[in-house]
Amino acid sequence: MRYERPETIMDATALLAQASDSAFVLAGGTDLLVKMQNDDFEAELVVDIKSIAGMADVVETDDSFVIGAAVPCAALGEHEALCAAWPGVVEAANLIGSTQIQGRCTVAGNLCNASPAADSVPALVAANAQARIAGPDGIRTVAVEDIPTGPGKTSLAKGEIIEAIVLAKPTDRSGDAYLRFIPRTEMDIAVVGVGVCLALNDDGAVASVRVALGAVGPTVMLCPEAAETLVGTKLEDAALEALAAACSAASTPIDDKRGTVDFRKQVAGVLARRAALIAFERAGGSQ
């Protein structure tokens, strides 16, 4: 295995573009180093991106937060403006692993690991986060939900690196939330995760909303049919019932030791209701 620590993103993408298929980006390493312990896993090249300027910074601009790909999730919880603007995203990121893991793991890595149960991803998708991708042909920006294509698989081309996750500053009267179900209180893999982000109109009704489901399909998925159930409502019981039904219907989970299909479908609806109510309250809504 070769270890490289380039100082520019161009050098990093060039290294990856020229490498064999067993080349990996190293940011926090909390997934990569675990994989490296497997005897059948072979990495020919590891490109550590932490010496590239800006990778470890959260930059607040007039209209956005730019989260560098190597920012540890613990640092998101310490960023007061980001916590105030996107509490659901930060809570989701801070659910990943132990204190030790929090000091290293990143949301860009959580996204690129492409687990359907990734905790930060439904919250990012609900927040309409964008991934800024550097590659041999320059920079492109895509919606976070377009990155994972299946368990462990992404739409990134050879030589491409997510250099930052970009969150727009939320509009007034908006709020987000993420909830997951795990059978214990901490440090487990989501059996179901739901992210909700909504904005209210002048009358206090839902003007726009995004709902994202995790661990109930091959990828984290945006669920527009669930979002539609809330538009124009103040989350009355009937609206929440419709939301829950839409989320359950959209879920196509697997049966495994952590949850059955029926259980996961039901819990997707339950968590969606609860997350929607939290987001609504954070948006300043009242029923």
Partner 1 sequence: MSSIAVSTTINGDDVEYLCQADETLLDVLRNRLGLMGSKEGCGTGDCGACSTIMDGRVVCSCLVLGAEAQGRSIETIEGMANGSELHPLQTKFIEHAALQCGICTPGFLMAAKALLDVNPEPTEEEIRFWLAGNLCRCTGYDKIVRAVQAAAAEMRGEAA
Q: What does the binding site for partner 1 look like in residue numbers (CB under 8 A)?
A: 1-3, 5, 26, 29-30, 33-34, 36-37, 43, 46, 48, 50, 72, 74, 97-101, 103-104, 186-187
Q: State the minimum distance, in angstroms, from the CB of residue 95 to partner 1.
A: 11
**Between 3 and 18, whose beta carbon lies closer to partner 1?**
3
Q: State the minimum distance, in angstroms, from the CB of residue 38 to partner 1.
A: 10
Q: State the minimum distance, in angstroms, from the CB of residue 285 to partner 1.
A: 30
If DSSP codes are grouped into helix, strand and coil, which group holds residue 79? coil
- The C-alpha atoms of residue 78 and residue 217 are separated, in whole angstroms, by 32
**Between 184 and 257, whose beta carbon lies closer to partner 1?**
184
Contact between 144 and 21 under an 8 Å Cβ cutoff? The reply is no
- The C-alpha atoms of residue 161 and residue 54 are separated, in whole angstroms, by 14
**Between 29 and 285, whose beta carbon lies closer to partner 1?**
29
Alpha helix locations (H) across the chain? Answer: 9-18, 32-36, 73-77, 80-85, 87-94, 99-102, 107-113, 120-126, 224-228, 237-250, 261-282
- The C-alpha atoms of residue 148 and residue 138 are separated, in whole angstroms, by 21
Q: State the minimum distance, in angstroms, from the CB of residue 275 to partner 1.
A: 22
Q: State the minimum distance, in angstroms, from the CB of residue 230 to partner 1.
A: 33
Q: State the minimum distance, in angstroms, from the CB of residue 27 to partner 1.
A: 11
Burial readout 244-261 (b: 16 or more C-beta within 10 A, e: otherwise): bebbbebbebeeeebbee
**Between 5 and 169, whose beta carbon lies closer to partner 1?**
5
**Between 103 and 218, whose beta carbon lies closer to partner 1?**
103
**Between 80 and 203, whose beta carbon lies closer to partner 1?**
80
Q: How many angstroms separate the Cα of 73 from the Cα of each of 20, 103, 120? A: 30, 7, 10
Return the percent helix, strand and coil in the chain, to nearest 5. Answer: 35, 25, 40
Pairing of strands 130-135, 206-214: unpaired
**Between 37 and 202, whose beta carbon lies closer to partner 1?**
37
Q: Enumerate residues 6+ apart whose C-beta is below 8 A from 92.
A: 119, 120, 122, 123, 124, 178, 180, 193, 195
Q: State the minimum distance, in angstroms, from the CB of residue 231 to partner 1.
A: 37
- The C-alpha atoms of residue 73 and residue 284 are separated, in whole angstroms, by 27
